[in-house]
């Protein structure tokens, strides 16, 4: 099932629900042990622990307490641990005592040449950038030093994922019980996420019962796993034929600029086993690349479809407006992308209030045209707001792709890299998502599943080197095969 990513307040509610475990310090001891184990694992993988050096940057409150207790455990293992207290009079007293008793050292700055630095400055309650004193300490950390953040890198907002300047950039973030929103929204800043089970009302990667914490329309951020997507991906059954598996219609490209048409239809063919129809002046070029696609030059000649993809390279003139108007007037699912989004920005009434499923797939620039203002730092709030106001599902592209539907549900996916940031990659994404719409997936699932498979395909195609959209398309079918493998 999808993994929920919680707000800071929801995490606090989950912690308070443990009662005595929170009050008697059990949660903190479990959390600090988890941090220590991650550091030990990292050191053990690179030459062992004894005699290695670890620095801790300690703020006030429980986050600093977690770091100090972890430092005490590391010191007892023969690791040389030095802590810098940013607020000595506010350091967690019991943790500070344990740290000193274990042989931990205090300093006004971190030693040079450390193997690991633990960020224990602020946790999920932190707001804004690093304060100057903390920023100065981290500025002296060598690039080769592994940075382990406790709960969340300091300087990152827990709920919005906004990365302030300056902020800690972690190689590993150790969090407790459940994931926080920023672990997805600020994924590149967090590095690898390790979730430690400390006894919250959820298992290691589970979803606590927080449904009652959401008001109607409030944002609920979730992430699909590969297993979720594999279970939902259309696979032909014993009695399926090309029509029952979904027929997607694609309106894209032109005779002069056929690339978008070729990429979109190629992705649709690769993604599912149904049927692809193409409408547009690039019909000869499309069928030359994909003879299985049924092509016609005019929309009036198109046969029946179960969903439409419209927009990639399709133009923004009056004829494009009329095609968009005609498609959106149907009761079929429609994916609107690229040029069609530019047309739609001037005619939002074509979508607002539409009863049939609608999936908009803008990048940041197209999003700004739709809304009249930049996306801004809080991408989650921005995409959820547009989906609510327009009554459509909105897929906001980026390294972190967010797919929001009008009721406040948002699915997010961290691509893990930016290899897919290449011309034509959006056309491939549209073809994948459109074919999933035609197969019957709800728009939010079609968008989120397409985004994740698209990201995996980019990774597989790249293998550490730049790619073009044609490479991404070629990697799509092997990627789906890998995903669906038993």
Query: Is 104 annotated as contributing to ligand binding?
Result: no
Give the class (CATH, top level) of 3-213: alpha beta
Please say if the pLDDT value at position 318 is more than 70: yes
The pLDDT of residue 57 is: 98
Q: Of all residues in the chain, what percent carry a pLDDT higher than 90?
A: 90
**pLDDT (mean) for 242-261:** 95
Neighbours of 88 (CB within 10 A): 11
Residue-wise pLDDT tens digits, 400-431: 999 999 999 999 999 999 999 999 999 999 99
123 is in an annotated binding site: yes
pTM for the model stands at 0.94
Give the pLDDT confidence of 60-69 residue by residue, as tens digits. Answer: 989 999 999 9
Residue with more model confidence, 485 or 210: 485
Count of C-beta atoms within a 10 Å radius of residue 325: 12
Mean pLDDT in residue range 351-355: 95
All CATH 3.40.50.10260 domain ranges of the chain, comma separated, are: 3-213
**What is the residue-averaged pLDDT of the chain?**
94
426 is in an annotated binding site: yes
Q: Is 378 annotated as a binding residue?
A: no
Q: Flag whether 63 is marked binding.
A: yes
Query: CB neighbours of 223 closer than 8 A, spacing ≥ 6?
Result: 2, 3, 5, 179, 184, 411, 412, 413, 414
Q: Does residue 307 carry a pLDDT above 90? A: yes
**Coil vs helix vs strand at 80:** strand
Across the beta sheet with 192-196, the strand order is 105-107, 80-85, 53-58, 116-120, 146-150, 172-176, 192-196
Say if residue 66 carries a ligand binding annotation.
yes
User: In sequence order, what E strands does 228-337 have?
Assistant: 247-251, 275-279, 294-296, 307-310, 334-336
How confident is residue 21, by pLDDT bands cut at 50, 70 and 90? confident
Mean pLDDT of the region 105-113? 95
- What pLDDT sits at residue 211? 43
**Residue 126 assigned as binding residue:** yes
Q: Where in the chain is the domain with CATH 3.40.1190.20?
A: 226-484
- 226-484 to CATH, choices 3.40.1190.20, 1.10.3470.10, 3.40.50.300, 3.90.1300.10: 3.40.1190.20
Tokens of 345: 């920005």
* 401 annotated to bind ligand: yes
Q: What is the mean pLDDT of residues 431-442?
A: 98
Tell whether 266 is in a known binding site. Answer: no
Q: Is 62 annotated as a binding residue?
A: yes
3-state class of 252 per DSSP? coil
pLDDT single digits (tens) 189-237:
999 999 999 998 854 344 545 444 566 679 999 999 999 999 999 999 9
Q: Worst-scoring range by mean pLDDT, 18-27, 203-212, 428-437? A: 203-212
């Amino acid at each position: 099932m999808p993994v929920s990513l919680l707000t800071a307040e929801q995490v606090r509610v989950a912690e308070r629900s443990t009662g005595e475990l929170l009050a008697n310090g059990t949660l903190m001891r479990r959390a600090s042990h988890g941090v220590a184990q991650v550091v030990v694992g990292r050191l053990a993988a690179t030459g062992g622990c004894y005699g290695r050096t670890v620095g801790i940057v300690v703020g006030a409150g429980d986050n600093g307490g977690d770091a100090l207790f972890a430092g005490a455990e590391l010191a007892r293992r023969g690791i040389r641990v030095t802590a810098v207290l940013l607020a000595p009079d506010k350091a967690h007293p019991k943790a500070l005592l344990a740290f000193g008793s274990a042989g931990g050292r205090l300093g006004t700055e971190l030693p040079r040449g450390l193997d690991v630095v633990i960020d224990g400055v602020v946790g999920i309650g932190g707001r804004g950038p690093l304060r100057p004193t903390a920023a100065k300490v981290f500025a002296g950390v060598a690039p080769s030093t592994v940075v382990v953040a406790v709960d969340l890198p300091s300087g990152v907002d827990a709920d919005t994922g906004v990365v302030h300047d300056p902020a800690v950039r972690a190689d590993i973030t150790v969090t407790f019980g459940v994931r926080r929103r920023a672990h997805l929204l600020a994924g590149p800043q967090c590095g690898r996420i390790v979730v430690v089970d400390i006894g919250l009302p959820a298992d290691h990667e589970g979803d606590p019962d927080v449904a009652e914490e959401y008001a109607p329309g409030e944002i609920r951020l979730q992430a699909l796993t590969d297993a979720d997507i594999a279970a939902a991906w259309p696979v032909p059954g014993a009695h399926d034929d090309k029509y029952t598996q979904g027929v997607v219609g694609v309106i894209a490209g032109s005779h002069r600029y056929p690339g978008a048409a070729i990429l979109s239809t190629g992705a649709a063919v690769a993604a599912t086993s149904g049927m692809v129809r193409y409408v547009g002046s690039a019909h000869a070029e499309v069928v030359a690349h994909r003879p299985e696609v049924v092509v016609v030059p005019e929309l009036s000649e198109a046969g029946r479809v179960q969903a439409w993809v419209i927009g990639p390279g399709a133009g923004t003139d009056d004829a494009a407006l009329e095609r968009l108007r005609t498609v959106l007037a149907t009761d079929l699912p429609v994916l609107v992308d690229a040029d069609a989004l530019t047309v739609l920005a001037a005619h939002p009434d074509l979508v607002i209030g539409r009863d049939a499923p609608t999936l908009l797939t803008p990048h940041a620039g197209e999003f700004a045209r739709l809304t009249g203002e930049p996306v801004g730092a809080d991408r989650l709030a921005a995409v959820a707001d547009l989906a609510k106001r327009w009554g459509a599902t909105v897929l906001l592209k980026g390294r972190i792709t967010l797919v929001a539907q009008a009721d406040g549900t948002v699915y997010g996916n961290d691509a893990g890299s930016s290899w897919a940031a290449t011309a034509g990659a959006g056309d491939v994404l549209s073809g994948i998502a459109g074919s999933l719409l035609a197969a019957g997936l709800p728009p939010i699932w079609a968008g989120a599943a397409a985004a994740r498979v698209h990201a995996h395909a980019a990774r597989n195609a790249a293998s550490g080197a730049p790619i073009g959209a044609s490479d991404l398309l070629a990697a799509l079918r092997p990627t789906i095969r890998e995903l669906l493998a038993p």
